[in-house]
Each structure stands twice: as structure tokens, then as C-alpha cells.
Amino acid sequence: MVKNVLGVSLRRWRLRSMGWGVCAAVMTGCASMPSVEGSAQGSAAASVQADHWLPVPLPGKARTDYRPVSIDGRPAIHARAACSASMWRQQLRVPPQDLGRLSFSWKVPALIPGADLSASDTDDTPVRVVLAFDGDHARLSMRNRMLFDLAQALTGEVPPYATLMYVWEPKAPVGSVIRAPRTDRVRGLVVESGAQRLGRWLAYERDIVADFRQAYGEEPGALIGIAVMTDSDNTGSDTEAYYGSIELRGARPRRLL
């Protein structure tokens, strides 16, 4: 009995100490995607291209709710987090030479009070667009290899070599690169800062290769996964956001959402 209790406690401690960074990286770009029952539900009026997207839970976390809706006369994905963190993901494979530009849009009603992506205890945000990349795992530091091994043991999936997130941060200036508190293989690029543009649709177009170089100082590998993530588990708060269309614009353009 004592052994079982200690085992459960150790598992929970490992989950907490690993944080969202490695978990999110694992679930974004794993090599094989399990069938996951989630909360994504649809309306026939919302014609988002959601066929290849699946909700993906994170270990030990309550799930964020993702569902297609129509808002402001356009289709979107509504994400609502109640002290929760999970992802909505599509797997794909785009070789480095075919990487071009990524366009996406979102609408955020409010920021999360006290959130700070650079701090492990408050690293929540209403919106993230998350890209996962392949690469040579032999180049990882010993610390990252240990974290990746732990993540694989907990989830059964191998983390991608690198994860790049486009994020809205309350204080960090646009263009800042924020490293995840517990692994430098997850990095956020701030594309929106502060509260000035809340409550409206905002559209972005990003050069994937240039952004990866800025974040990591090296060339990207193949793009192997893309996800959106709205989370509020660390701050114990409620938040919501809307995601609009997501498109790859390169050698082989495609609309993902």
C-alpha cells in the first residue's frame, strides 16, 4: 500500500516538474497519433477544415474544450480552458525545402491576469500556435535527453527535436523569444503583446524558416506537427479564445484549418 502511494506521488511529482513544455512538445509532434476521444464538437454551420485535427490531452491535466463555431460571420475554433491544458493537433510532414510562410488568425477576449510564459508556475496563455520539427536527437544535451526519456515514458511518444510556438504574451515585447522554463527545446516567439488589441480578429503571416532561425540559431528540420493550445492550468483561471484559418503558403500550399 505504501509502495503504491509512493509510486503515485512520484508520478505526480514528475508530471508537475516536467511542466507543459515537454508534454506539449511530445503531443504536438509524435511519430504516431493514438485515437483520442476529446471534447471537440461541431456545428454544421461552422465549415472549418477540422477533419484531420484531434483533441489531445496532456498527462495529469484537465482538458481544454475545442469546438467549431461561427462567430462574426466566419468559421472558427472556440477554445475554452477552465484550469485546464490540452491541445488540438494535426500531424503532417513538410520537408525543410518546402517550408514557406504560415498564416493564421485569432481573437482573444481577455488576457490571463498574472500569466508569464517565462515562469514555470504561471506559464499560461489564451492562444498558442505550435509547430513541431524533426531533427537529430543525438545533438540534444544530456539534460534534454533525460527530459525526453521521461516524457516518452509518461506518454509513450517520442518528443520532436524542436518546438516553435507563436504566442500572445502580456508583457514581453513583440519579437521576443521565450524559452520554456524546463527545456530549451520549446521556444515561444511573441507575435502579440499587451492588451491593446484584445477583442478583435488579428491576422499574421510568418516566415517559418526565418522564425526558426531566430528562435534556435539553426536551420529547421521537417515540420511534423501543428497544434493550437489554450491553457490556464498553472494560474488556476478560466480563459477563452477563437482560432481562425491556418494556412501553409510555400512550395505546396495548403489550408490546414
Cα separation, 132 vs 53, whole angstroms: 15
CB 189 within 8 A of CB 177: yes
Q: Which three cell numbers stand for residue 234?
A: 498553472
Beta strands at 183-193 and 162-169: parallel, antiparallel or unpaired: parallel
Give the distance, in angstroms, between the CA of residue 18 and the centroid of all CA atoms in the same chain.
15
Beta strands at 54-57 and 85-94: parallel, antiparallel or unpaired: antiparallel
Domain range spanning residue 44? 2-255
Give rounded-to-5 percent helix, strand, coil for the chain. Answer: 20, 40, 40
Q: How many helices (H) and strands (E) does the chain have?
A: 3, 13
Scan for cell 495529469, then name that residue: 60
Scan for cell 521565450, then name that residue: 178
DSSP-derived letter for residue 145 is H
pLDDT tens sequence across 161-181: 999 999 999 999 999 999 988
Scan for cell 533525460, then name that residue: 146
User: Which residues are 187's β-sheet partners?
Assistant: 164, 179
Beta strands at 85-94 and 223-231: parallel, antiparallel or unpaired: antiparallel
Domain total of the chain: 1
Residue 191's CATH number: 2.60.120.260
**For the ranges 78-82, 98-102, 120-124, 188-192, which has the lowest average pLDDT?**
120-124
CB 68 within 8 A of CB 54: no
Q: How confident is the model at residue 253 (pLDDT cuts 50, 70, 90)?
A: confident
pLDDT tens sequence across 51-71: 689 888 888 899 999 999 999
Cα separation, 68 vs 75, whole angstroms: 7
Mean pLDDT of 199-222: 97
Q: What angle do CA 10, 13, 14 make, to 5 degrees?
A: 90
Cα separation, 124 vs 178, whole angstroms: 13
Mean pLDDT of 199-214: 98
Cα separation, 112 vs 169, whole angstroms: 10
CB 114 within 8 A of CB 235: yes
pLDDT at position 204:
98
Alpha-carbon distance values, 186 to 108, 191, 219, 255 (Å): 23, 16, 15, 25
pLDDT at position 162:
96
pLDDT tens sequence across 18-59: 444 555 554 454 433 333 333 334 443 344 455 689 888 888
pLDDT tens sequence across 109-162: 999 999 999 898 899 999 999 999 999 988 988 988 888 888 888 777 788 999
